[in-house]
Amino acid sequence: MGEEFYAIIKLVSGEEIMSLVMTDENDGDPIVILQKPITMKMSQNSQGTFIKVKPWMEISNDDIFIIKSNKIITMTETKDQKIINIYNSYINEDNLNIDSYSSEGCVKPSSKMGYISSVEDARKKLEKIFKGIKEA
């Protein structure tokens, strides 16, 4: 087994994936071992440029995948710290929580997203603060 490194891989299917990669010589047939591979897609709108990140295999619960070298067009090691940080922050987050998504594709707000109370509760709290400041 070789050393682990971050790589961007172009497959014969046309997919581009990024992963922590290790190569191995399997009886003269080289294989590539991928750990938590993801896809990244650049998007632009009037607000700016964004990167959409999602798992390469969305339904699988596995973290490690093996690809034969004949399925790879090219593979390049990346040392771009921005890309590596995006990969690591995505992998380290538990952002695949099924409960946070609705059937329409909308995301339900959580306290992690900034949702901390209902409008009515927030109104009451703000009124108390305002009245407290007025009396002082």
> What pLDDT digit, counting tens, does each position of 39-69 carry?
988 888 777 777 888 899 988 888 899 999 8
Count of residues in the chain: 136
The domains located in the chain, with CATH, are 5-96 (2.30.30.100), 100-136 (no CATH)
User: What's the pLDDT at 89?
Assistant: 85
Half-sphere exposure of 105 (CA within 13 A, CB side): 0
The per-residue pLDDT for 20 is: 93
User: How confident is the prediction for the chain on average, in pLDDT?
Assistant: 81
* Cβ 76 vs Cβ 17: under 8 Å: no
Claim: this prediction has a pTM higher than 0.95: no
Distance (Å, whole) CA 73 – CA 9: 8
Residues 69, 10, 7, CA angle at the centre, nearest 5°? 85
CB 31 within 8 A of CB 69: yes
Count CA atoms closer than 13 A to 47's CA, side-chain side.
3
State the CB neighbour count (10 A cutoff) for residue 13. 7
Model pLDDT for residues 99-118, shown as the tens digit of each residue:
444 445 566 666 666 667 77
